[in-house]
Structure 1
Amino acid sequence: MPQVLLKTNPEAGAALQSQGRPLSAAHEAIAGTLRSQLGFNHAEFLAAPRVARDGSISWVTGLVGTVTPAAELPAAERDRLLQRAERLIEDILGLARKLRTEGGASAASAELLEQAVKTPGSGAETLLPWLYGVGGKPVLTMWGHAAPGTVVAPVVPPVVPAAAPVSAAAAAAEPNLAAAPPVVAAAPVAAAAAAAPDRRAWLVWLMWGLLGLLLAAALLFGLKRCDAAGSPSLDDEIARTEARNRALEEEVGRMARRDPRYACVREDPPPPQPAASVSDATPTPPPEPPPSAPTPPSPLDNLKRRVADAGQNCERLTEMLKKEPLLQGSGGEAGAMKQEIQRTLQSPACREKAIREAKNLCPGQRPAELAPELVIVFDASGSMRYSLNVSEEDIKRNEGAAAVEGLFRQFGMKMPPGQSSADHLMREPTRMTVARRATHALVQRVPSDMSIGLVMVDECPAARPQGFFPPPRRGELLSRIQGIEPRKGTPLADGIAKAAQMVDGSKREALIVVVSDGTESCGNDPCAVAAQLRASKPRVKVNVVDITGTGAGNCVAQATGGKVFTARNADEVAAMTSRAAQEAMGPENCRKP
């Protein structure tokens, strides 16, 4: 179901226009262009506007996931979302520049794309108030708008100039005008229309006159035959009548051969043109064939063009490799293009970007081999049996009293009244109890394409790695965490070293989360181990959940670029453990096991 991101009033911004209509009315056309040319992410970047009768607009999206205004995100997440939005806008403007060079209808599409990415505001404030994160993806509202009060000039279609009037004389002189209706001014057309009845009446009278003369000639001819004497005056009259008839017939023929629309303008026929000699005659070239319609480009040609347009854009190439049907095979020209795209994606620049972005993608969107690695280093030393509010001094005093009580018991004696073991220092919730709960909740949130490692820090001289638990074994890992009990020492340095040995740290990112309440107690140096880890595996980061705030893991986090999360009560232990692992969790809408 579409999600409403924001509802804006007409006063929020001046709507940019195209052909007299608000630009937001062209959302379907713009989204279709982006979807076909750049892909799904670019098409979904512009929120769909739903305009109400009062002019307000509800901006909606079809993406699934938690909706958060960019301005309300933590600084690091906000910066990442802004960077992704700016890259999408840069791609859209690049497409607009390309379409503009093609001219014609493509230039109109370029104008729409250039106007669409404009939002009210200036500088960094242009995007931030209108940008939303939906499941980790950027979505822009109030696109196609300028700042309130801006005078927006509508884009008007070009006006085709009216045809210039053509005079009757020019039309008569142009031989091609007989094949197409002439374009004349209104006054000449009216005059011709008025003169038409006069010409028809004149022709009728002329025809009637000719008929009368023919009848008279027939009558006279008959009289001549009946005149036995053959009067010479009658023969002369017949000859004159026949001459007039021939003259009238020629006149009628001339009038019939003329264009009746212009007969009233030009009475005399044009003078005969001298016949061209055979040597002077220029042969008439044969008519040129009509231009054939251009052959539409083939799907393979379209693919070549889009691959060329993508250039070194790793995200667009990855999207095409996943969704383009022609690239799903391995033969022919499409197969060769697929291999070329794969070589580009294996370049250091694309590889670096893919590793860096993998933690911001959900399973299925990122390659399985790039999913971040996660290892939990769990402190199960003896101090974890104490309550959260017990200080280190109380623990030391209790350990001394416990040693004396042991001696008394060894000799069958009882402690003096008031000096028995301080069981109240171990009342629930203990540090172990809250650490188990927090780690249990963390494991349930890890994305479904990640395995989780576990290292136990509970006894000198060395930590005990428990191995990696893939998604099908999550239940086994949860049961093992629930069964952890406090033991003795704290080989913290060795625990971090063992965790680092379990991850790659070079070709993919890895996160080590240390949950501990104390310092190293087995004679090793956690700070030196962390410094060596940074040099050998630069993509490994160590975050420390410091229960009771001892500060023991500060140098470890600092050396690897990680952070320390201090927790002094049960709620803080749960919250800080979740925050310490957040970098490996991916977007909130990712499916969990």
Structure 2
Amino acid sequence: MPAFFIETTPMSRLRICRTPAFAYPLPPAGPTDAAWHARLCEALRRHLSPAAAALLAEPVPSEDGAWIEWYTSLAGQPIPLTSLSGEASRRARNLLEDRLQAMVALAGRLATADPELADAMRRAASFPDQSAIYVVDGQPVMTFWGYGTAPWPEQAAYSPAGRSSAKLFRRPWPVLAGLILAAGLGWAGFLFDLWRWPPWGPDHAAMLAAEQETGHELRRVLFARQSDLARALGRCALEAQRDALAREGELLAGKLEALTAELAAGLDTCQGEAALDALSKERDALSGRLAGLQRDLEAALEKCGGARLSGERAKSARLRAKLTALQAQLAVKLNRCGKKPPGDTAETGSVPAVSPIPEPSPRPAQAAGSLPPCPGERPPEDAPDVAIVLDASGSMRIPSVLDGNSAQLIARFERCMTDSGLLAPVVCADLIGAYESIIQGDRGPTRLMAAQKAVNNVVGGLPGDVDVGLVVLEDCPQASDYGMYDGARRGQLLQRVNGLIPRKGTPLGNGIVQAANKVDGVRAPAVMVVVSDGKDSCNADPCAIAAAVKAAKPKLKINVVDIVGDGAVGCIAKATGGEVLTPQSGMSLDQMVRRAAKDAEKPEHCK
């Protein structure tokens, strides 16, 4: 008896048993296979019911063709029909009988539309003996279907023919006529066989045995060919996978070569001795000019006094700030190339400090506790200057309001791009798509839009005698100087501000230098408002530059509006006695920009 056990597969099938492939003689039409099983089950499911389709077990031959595993879609414990007794056996046999009759009837209906399927359906309604029948969850399941000639060769009492015999004997005359006709046909055949020559005829039994042996041999050859085909298909699949991996390796090798070339080009830029020499020469020239201006300034002080020297002093301060910025840039580039900055020469090593200059004309001291003069009452040269440094780099495309997840993703992306350098497009590839989806999504105004609105509100509230300068951080290596605007040209200034769009880099250090050159900060107070969302991306040191600017212009205060609030640019305000304003303070961007420019606004006691 074949072994039976429960085993589920990924397809939610139940393995009933595993039997030798040649446990029964092969039927004349050939063995059952998975293709005919699928076709028969589809027909039974469509024309009868899913329960009728579950009658036929699915055959799955082993690779060597020596065994057949039988599967069913039913769930439960497979039990041989021969082991059942009583009511369970009777119920299972009745179900089997009904479904076999339904299959035979369906084969008759399909004979015209699909003769091949009808013939296969009729053959499938037979099995070799009762040991090929199993019961799963009360439902009969046939193995080796199509291997027999009658459904119940052992117990005719339970066969369809046995159950219908009683009905036939209730009508004796048709039965008697059929028997007489059969006897006559048999006698005629016997006489015809006597007249045939040679009388012994062909050996049909031997011919049948030979054909069966040939069928068995063909079956073995077929299984061997199927096994060879399966192994060949497996090798083909592995070869296709190998070719795909080889192509992917070639693609990655090409990318690696391109990245290596890009890295080599970036390293070559560090070897630009000509650029470094040019910076050194420019620094020396500026130092010489600064020393000459200092000498001229001292001579002018002795000759003319301080009334006409404010311009000379401002020019000297601007040159000093520019020299400091160039020295910082030179030091950064030399450090990138692994070199030390050259030592100061006798000419440039000790630049004389800005000498204190007396006021051009004596003015009465302001009484203690008295209020500052209002706009219109103070001299024009005493009005404070305002320089706005506005960030318009690529990161200002980010929405001004983000949820927690989006803010964390933006921070991860910016940190990855900063840390990865030239390899950022490869290392940060998984974050670029998510970053672009946030940038391009409809999430409200961008950081630049919010900053433009805040600058509009602040500029509109400044007194008319306050001049406002605009410097924009758009791309490396230097910021864009948009000029200085008096009270009559505020409309042009706001038109410039509102026309800005995000660009690329953040030359923050150079922007501070250019903004400092636009204001006084020595004789009259000046305020610089820096609105940015990040640190310098052009290899400058804004903190050192701010300290140098403060040394040259002691009355200049830099207030920083840090849109992100990561503290990367807080040193700029600290170096100049200014204030750092971040979203953590609870103020809106508009409120932060207004507070940063508060020193230039109209005093509270002025109407």
- Report TM bin, short chain: 0.3 to 0.5
What TM-score, normalized to structure 1? 0.36
Give 1 or 2 for the bigger CA radius of gyration.
2
What TM-score, normalized to structure 2? 0.35
